[in-house]
Structure 1
Amino acid sequence: MIWLAFTLFIATRCVDAQVTAQSSVAPELRECYTNPQFLDRNNLPPTTLPVLIDIIQQIEDNPNINMDLRQLAVQLLHTYRQDGIEFHQPDSSTVLSSNVLPYAPTFHSFHRHRLLLTKIIPGYSQVLPNNTINSALKCAVHHMLSTTVDARVRGNENSCNQLSQYRALRTARRVPRQVNADDVEILDLDALKSANTMGKMRHYDPKNDVEYTSIGGSKSERQLLGNSQCPLLSGAVFTRWGAVSAGHVIAGIAGGAQFQRVPISELTKGSLNDYSNVQQTVSSIFTATLSGDLAEVVLIQGTERGNAISVGVAGNWNSTQAPRYYMLHNRLNVEMTDPEIRGDIDGFVLGTLINSNVDTSGTLKLSQLLDMYYSPRNGVYNSARRACNRRGLSQEFIDRETLIAESQAFVAALDTSMPLRGTIVSGLDQLVSSAVQNFQTYTTNNLNDLSCINSETTTNDFRLKTNLYIVLDAAWPYQAVYPAISFLLDGIEVGKFGSSVTLLSAFDGSVIVNKTFSLAEFHSNYTLTRHQALLNGVNLENTLSNIRISMQTELENEKTANYVGGNSSVLLFLLNTGNININEQIINDARRLNETVPDLRILFATSTNQFDTLWNLVRDMHNDIRTISLNNEGTNVENTMNPILTRIQTVGRRIVNSNCGSTFYQEWTSGTRQFADNVEPGYINFYTISPNYFFGNNDNRKVRISRTGSSVGSLIVCQSRTVVQPRQNVTTIGADAEAVICQTLASGNVEISLRGACDGHWLIGACPPFYISVQSQVTDTTSLSATCTEFACRFPYNVRYQVQIEDFGCFSSAGTAGLSLILGITIILFNLVKLF
């Protein structure tokens, strides 16, 4: 009942002091418009849904913030969302005063925003503390939640509308696709560098009058739209299912979480307008989403263009891998753009679900709700409740007559708060009906979003958990390598419940970005400025030596922490320097790294073919070395980096004997140890056990997988010595019928014996790893519920299980003559093959 007490409390509070509802930029947001670093969006994390979820998770995990979903959704709006902030170009003859910030909330979206925050979704007068998240993340989430249109001339207008739109029917990342020549990064970096420091873009000359509309040749009394033919829409967030206005989504959730019907008389106090022919209350969910935007459309377009009502404006992102700017295809009728339509539908659906107590446990987090809805499978406890089914959900949840009535009522309220270029004296019902009809038609015919069928067939049914260490050669141009790295981080799902990333220098192995599970943190730290400060050159001797020491320290830390299993480890070298000299010291360092950190997979991605020099530094010379071609426009990232991502995905999660540390003394057996894990319904977790833990024979050596807690469906446990990702009922080319053995686990446990697993193999390096998978099997009609409420559960309906190991050993060939012998034989054979 905490949320009820919270609702009653804020309903009695004075809301006149809401800082983001005032007609000036909120004090805590002003550094986003004064600090040159934050004015340039390229220094902020990309505006993607995973980044937004990451930032919300950081707020949720802040020990000083104790709020449930309902409270946090409201407070996000009151702290970080301020719609309608525009840049106002001062007169050229006037010296810009340091006492004046040339930004203010004057765009039309602010007036609805102010009404929403002060009357419909009121909150604490005290917002989230300013130190809840750092300044970069604060500015990033502010821009992701706040809707406005910036139509200043930027210098790229001739090309921005020719870019390929971010269509929903994109090919999956695991399948190479033909990239259009126009699918490029379009931001002109030279123009950005030389731009006005206050706006970071070339501003329109204030002496030139600007057409406000094309009607009657009238001029605008102030420069609102500038001359850009493809203005920037703030508040848009990239998702696989189309760009979404995130502020509308959060507002819809808040409107449902704190649902109320507000009398129009409370919203129109002091007004002389008579709207007695409309319903006398409005819904907080409708006004926060659909009827709010439709009211803007009716009032603005109705007073300027009569009955010519239009909804929907498409656009495209500036970048395919690190989107930060969403460019509209025109500057007219921008009251209800495509991202706003999607955000309205999504926010309305989620707000309605929250209002109907979709999560009866009361433990559901805001980040989890968003993560479930924008997911390829499962959805919000029901596979139909996800973004890929947006069209079906809009038909199920949105009643036409109710939408018309709610829109008419909110027009009456907004009309008294929004300055307009005319007065609607009659015909309101026809305008609203036209707007609603156009909205429904546009939603059905024009939103080309990824369907649920394509969502499932073009995405993996496994979640990756990898500790990725990227060794970066500073010789790469930032514009070429940054999108490539972004592609990998998105592909391995860097995040709180997934993978981590560490960025190292190829010059000496020093840390550029510390190990982080936060996408937002990585992108905030790895910027153009940081890249330009890196030392050039590739020194594998120093790099491998320093990395080996760091990795061995990590193993010792895992030993202290009694670490039994979890993320895989991949070391990726991204090299742009050619003709790298490989000496005996480098070969020995790589050998020692492979021996003393047996679960680490070393990969090389180089701009020139260096197979002949790098092959003896990796475990699998045919698959661990790739030649990549990256251009400065970023047009070929997906095709080029997809093989690297696929290789990383084949490295399974680790199951280890942490007693081994980095020394692998054979007398240090594991005894009986275990770790907990969970799998999403319909997904698979893949594990790899290195022979360094089972090389010597032991009759009691085994892995035991048991189910814990209550959850739906069955678990399928598969094992193989040859198939890297074993799964049920899948035949792998080149593998015999007995290559994969699967067992069903409904209750109890599945026991896998490792007795004699290396029989017939004289050397550890010749013994193949042991591959295990745990798959959740559920039917499409299965009803999901919150059974996994632990901190480690990404989704509340995940299936929990335990992995137990018994009598794992510690074996290493480090320093033995056997390894040196086989290495020498391999080199001789390789040279003989080259001769033929």
Structure 2
Amino acid sequence: MPWVPALLLVAIATGAHAQSTGQTSVAPDLRECYTNPWLLNRNNLPPTTIQTLIDIIRQIEDNPNVNVDMRTMAALLLHTYRQDGIEYHSRDGVASANVLPFSPTFHSFHRHRLLLRMIPSNLQALPNNTLSAPLKCALHHMLSTTVDARLRGDESSCGQLSQYRALRTSRSVRSVKDDVELLDVSKLRGRNGQMRQYNPNDDVESTGSFGPKRARQLMGDSACPILTGVVKTKWGDVSVGNLIAGIAAGTESQQVPITELIRGSTLNYQNVQTTLTSIFPATLSGDLAEAVLIQGTRGSQIISVGTAGHWNSTQAQRFFMLSERSNVEMTDPEIRGGIDGFVLGNSSAEGLRIYSSLRLSQLLDMYFAPRNGFFNTNLRACNRRNLSLTHINNDALASETRAFTAALDSIMPLEGTLTGGLEGLVQSAITNYQTYTSNTMNDLNCIITEATSPDFRLRTNLYIVLDSSWPYNTIYPAISYLLEAIEVNKYGSSVTLLSAADGRVLINQTLSQSEFHLLYNATTHQSFPTGVNLETSLPNIRQLLLDTLRNESSSNFVGGNSSVLLYLLNSGTIQNNNNVWEQARLLREGVPDTRLVFGTSSNQVENLSNLVRDPQNDVITLTLTSTGTQVDTTMSQVLSTIQMTGRRVVNPLCGANFAAGSSGVRQFDDSVEAGFINFYRVSPNYFYLNNDNARVRVSFGTAGVVQGSLTVCHSRSVILPRQNSTLEPDASAITCQNVVTATNVDMSLQNACNGFSTIGACPPLYFSVQANAVGETTTATCTDVNVCRFPNSIRYQIEVDGLGCFSNATNLLSSVFFVLFGLILNIVRSL
């Protein structure tokens, strides 16, 4: 649109211009991220992954005091938590309680100031108490771009995926009153990741103390400086600031006159367009303009774009290290973030037409997904290269970049003054950008993505029982891998951390990865009880799980997450005697839907096999190292075992005592994405004795809008039954039926345990619900955010009828009683 709304002009003239994150000092609400030693140490904050980002945004969206649409949410995040360019400034050893040695002076800050004027926020900013301080600082660092080139001490190995030990040193807990000591350079050197501070006398390439701080920072001693504002995804590392800015700008695109941006300054270029389309500076044109100005004023005629990098760890990503220290104006993550932000910004209008209440977290979750995408299978991060070709017009990119370069030149301090040649410099930058993205950035594509990722999502309650003799640097990456793989979030799995010494709860059950990472760090790990005692921990954990069953029964819980109890042991041969075996038996029989698994640092299959149901899969030897490499390979069997444990379907009356009667008719709602499968398990403890009416039914129920169809498969021997399975040798063991509107699929449990003398010998009922794949979504099929992760998920209902409560937890002879009772009951019925 060629006009500027009055609201935008007002925002530019007043509120947005006065936005605190656009000022030349650290914003007041962000200062504690740089004054509190605990928050300043990034190892105390969650890993910077796309899952963490989405989790934190969900927490903001779920806040009862925050009720805004997607576009406003994106703008609020930028105005509240993004402040690019914050650098540390050495005071040559002089400390002052009144001076914070951080300020936004890196080149990225100047672009950020202009963007705040182009992307106004009516509400200005989110309240400071919207997030906890650690999550606020984590989000700030994920959104804000700067380069820290201070010497760290690990430069000899920074070209490798190391554990980055200099940045993983644990810190002592300090009180708030000690924060002022942070301003002492000698103290800061020990807390801020053990980085040596910049010494201008060591910078032989510096133009002297009067040179711009940006230049002195980039010419520092580190061969691989740290780039902030980056999150890890399976499809390449992404600069979040560009991503969110593109969404905010594209959802409500604006044409902004250059004169409004350079008000009070002189435009030095006459051959540029007079208006800017906000989404271009927010994404690709912004970084291209920075590269043109900074490299151009250094005398370069060829503008370089693209700088690769790597993380400090494969599973504890907190520091992204660039492969070089020059020409870092448009790095690989910034390119990806720019493309993703541009594509999603331009596609958001159509997404909002399909579902007007779409959340920002849902948009990101759909785009960074292995299948389906943002209401269209093409709109996925794995398809980024093709999307950049179809969505970005090169001529428009060139003209927008020239115009924004002219605007940025009016406020950015530079080493020289461009007096001509702007068009050639811009064209060089765009040509190199096109070449680089086409030939160098070989990110994971959609074909490989679908071939290597599962077509089901896990929903499990994972109880990790930790042996604290594991070194923190060794076990943390393994736990982090599991949390990401099982998708700990409000729509997926939960995690609880317990002690292997006595079974006490160390970290309460949480559905938030970010919250778990805040609570579990090197300091808390060292405070955990030591030793392993199965004889003590098993009964205490069993009591916890029995209490959970009671709570579920009181809330009429019919089905949901599976339950896995995982011991991670490192203390040599574990004591296993009759008392331990008895406790394991009571756990197995009293909490039949919980699977007990052991992961051990030494081979203990023979020692622990009598405690588990499936020794081949439930006792696993782990080869973990302090370097944190090959974690995915080492933990793959643990993950596979969790994957084989289907979601629970239960009789809610059983609770912890298994003494109640028939369930009657009860149901719960669930949902599945197109092309995905949900797997379930019904324990024989709910149908051991015959009931002619016992069954499980799958239907659309009262789900409302139905798009696509469902296939229900069930089996008594195949744990993960699916249609047209190529992995199952006995195809006859699986029965599949389709669910369409106004029809049901019933799975009868009549005489389901005939011929089995004990409950343990009778196999469970395994079944799955699969949604047929669709290419493009035109309507929102599930708008209840409490049930459906995505608005295009298919909602359905699982109903149980006639389930019973049978358990031999009270004594070993009870199963015989149940068999005799069943025989008598059948004889009476036949009379």
TM-score normalised by the chain length of structure 1: 0.92
Cα deviations by residue, 1:163-212 (Å, 9 ceiling, x for unpaired):
2xxxxxxxxxxxxxxxxxxx442333587769714633322452524255
Query: Using the alignment, how far apart are the partners of 1:34 and 1:572 within structure 2?
Result: 39
Q: Which residue of 2 aligns with 1:98?
A: 97
Give the 5 Å matches for 1:317-716. 317-356=311-350, 358-665=352-659, 667-707=660-700, 708-716=703-711
Contact 2:676 2:770 in 1 (8 A): yes
Spell out the pairing of 1:101-116 with structure 2 (5 A cutoff): 101-116=100-115
Aligned sequence identity (%): 56
* Counterpart Cα distance in 1 of 2:6 and 2:772: 41
Matched, 1:44 2:45: yes
Residue 28 of structure 1 aligns with which residue? 29
Could you say which residue in structure 1 is the equivalent of 2:724? 729
In structure 2, the CA distance between the partners of 1:651 and 1:7, relative to structure 1 (3 Å rule), is farther
Match of 1:832 in 2: none
More displaced 10-residue stretch of structure 1: 100-109 or 124-133 = 124-133
The whole-number CA distance in structure 2 between the counterparts of 1:664 and 1:801 is 28
RMSD of aligned residue pairs (Cα, Å): 2.0
Q: Secondary structure at the match of 2:363?
A: helix
Aligned mate of 1:801, from 786, 796, 820? 796
Distance in structure 2 (CA, Å) of the matches to 1:369 and 1:190: 33
Report deviation, 1:620: 1.5
Asked whether the equivalents of residues 763 and 818 of structure 1 are also in contact (C-alpha less than 8 Å), the reply is no
- Mean Cα displacement is larger for which, 700-709 or 51-60? 700-709
Is the contact made by 2:189 and 2:197 (CA closer than 8 Å) also made in structure 1? no
In structure 2, what is the Cα distance between the partners aligned to 1:252 and 1:325? 24
Q: 1:325 to 1:641 in 2, by over 3 A?
A: same
From 166, 187, 194, the equivalent of 1:188 is: 166
Q: Distance in 1 between matches of 2:53 and 2:254?
A: 27
The 5 Å alignment of 1:741-820 reads: 741-747=735-741, 748-779=743-774, 781-791=775-785, 792-818=787-813
Distance in 2 between residues matched to 1:125 and 1:68, nearest whole Å: 12
Query: Do the aligned residues in 1 keep the contact of 2:87 with 2:106 (CA within 8 Å)?
Result: yes
CA distance in 2, matches of 1:386, 1:626: 36
Rounded to whole Å, the distance in 1 between the matches of 2:305 and 2:407 is 21
TM-fit CA distance, 1:479: 0.4
1:778 Cα deviation (Å)? 2.4
User: Secondary structure at 2:542's aligned position in 1?
Assistant: helix
C-alpha distance in 2 between matches for 1:198 and 1:96 = 15
CA contact (8 A) 2:355 2:779 kept: no
Whether contact under 8 Å (1:112, 1:292) holds in the other structure is yes
Q: Residue 718 of structure 1 aligns to which amino acid in structure 2?
A: C
What is the distance in 1 between the residues matched to 2:205 and 2:144? 23
Please tell me the residue identity of whatever aligns with 2:553.
K
Tell me by how many angstroms 1:6 deviates.
8.6
On the 8 A contact 1:210/1:220 being kept in 2, the answer is no
The CA deviation at 1:90 is 1.0
Say which is worse superposed, 46-55 or 507-516, in terms of deviation: 507-516
- 1:298 aligned residue: 292
The equivalent of 1:122 in structure 2 is 120
Equivalent residue letter for 1:709: G
Q: Using the alignment, how far apart are the partners of 1:782 and 1:224 within structure 2?
A: 48
Q: Give the whole-Å Cα distance in 2 for the aligned partners of 1:613 and 1:329.
A: 48
- Rounded Cα–Cα distance in structure 2 between residues aligned with 1:566 and 1:635: 34
Letter in 2 for 1:722: S
Q: Give secondary structure in 1 for the equivalent of 2:805.
A: coil
Letter in 1 for 2:754: D
Q: Which amino acid aligns with 1:679?
A: V
**Which residues of 2 match residues 228-267 of structure 1 at below 5 A?**
228-267=222-261
Tell me, yes or no, if the aligned pair for 1:609 and 1:627 is still in contact at 8 Å. Answer: yes
Contact 1:204 1:227 in 2 (8 A): no
Q: Structure 2: how far apart are the matches of 1:556 and 1:158?
A: 56
The answer (yes or no) to whether the contact 2:163–2:312 under 8 Å persists in 1 is yes
Distance in 2 separating the partners of 1:682 and 1:360: 20
Query: Using a 3 Å threshold, how does the CA distance of structure 1 residues 398 and 757 change in structure 2: closer, same or farther?
Result: same
AA of the residue aligned to 1:185:
Q
Judge conservation of contact 1:382–1:784 (CA < 8 Å) in 2. no
Q: Establish whether residue 17 from structure 1 lines up as the match of residue 18 from structure 2.
A: yes
Distance change >3 Å, CA 484–CA 436, structure 1 → 2: same
Q: SS state of the match for residue 669, structure 1?
A: coil
1:131-174 deviation digits (Å, cap 9, x = unpaired): 1110110010000000000000000111111x2xxxxxxxxxxx
User: Which one-letter code corresponds to 1:391 in the other structure?
Assistant: R
Letter in 1 for 2:36: N
CA distance in 2, matches of 1:203, 1:728: 60
Q: 2:195 aligns with which of 192, 202, 207?
A: 202
Q: Using the alignment, how far apart are the partners of 1:760 and 1:355 within structure 2?
A: 60
1:72-87, aligned counterparts within 5 Å? 72-87=73-88
Q: Is the Cα contact below 8 Å between 1:507 and 1:540 reproduced in 2?
A: yes
Is the contact between residue 617 and residue 637 of structure 2 (CA under 8 Å) also seen in structure 1? no
Unaligned runs of 5+ in 1: 164-182, 823-836
Looking at structure 2, the residues matched to 198 and 18 of structure 1 have their Cα atoms a distance apart, in angstroms, of 31
Look up the match of 1:284: 278
TM-score, structure 2 as length reference: 0.92
Aligned to 1:739: 733
Q: How many residues align?
A: 791
CA shift for structure 1 position 772: 0.4
Residue 628 of structure 1: how far off its partner (Å): 1.0
- SS of residue in 1 equivalent to 2:16: coil
TM-fit CA distance, 1:355? 4.0
How far 1:265 moved relative to its partner?
1.0
Asked if the contact 1:145/1:247 (under 8 Å) is kept, the reply is: yes
Deviates more, 1:593-602 or 1:13-22: 13-22
Any unmatched runs of 5+ in structure 2?
Answer: 172-186, 818-831
Q: Is the 8 A contact 1:13 1:124 kept in 2?
A: no
Deviation at 1:448, TM superposition (A): 1.3
Amino acid at match of 2:644: T
Could you tell me which residue of structure 2 aligns to residue 61 of structure 1?
A: 62
2: CA distance between counterparts of 1:405 and 1:553?
A: 65
The alignment partner of 1:676 has SS state of strand
Quote the Cα distance in structure 1 between the aligned partners of 2:205 and 2:655: 69
Following TM superposition, by how much is the alpha carbon of 1:219 offset from its aligned partner in structure 2, in angstroms? 9.3
Deviation at 1:568, TM superposition (A): 0.1
In the TM superposition, what is the alpha-carbon distance from 1:549 to its structure 2 partner?
0.8
For 1:724, the aligned partner's letter is I
Tell me the CA shift for residue 709 of structure 1.
Answer: 2.4
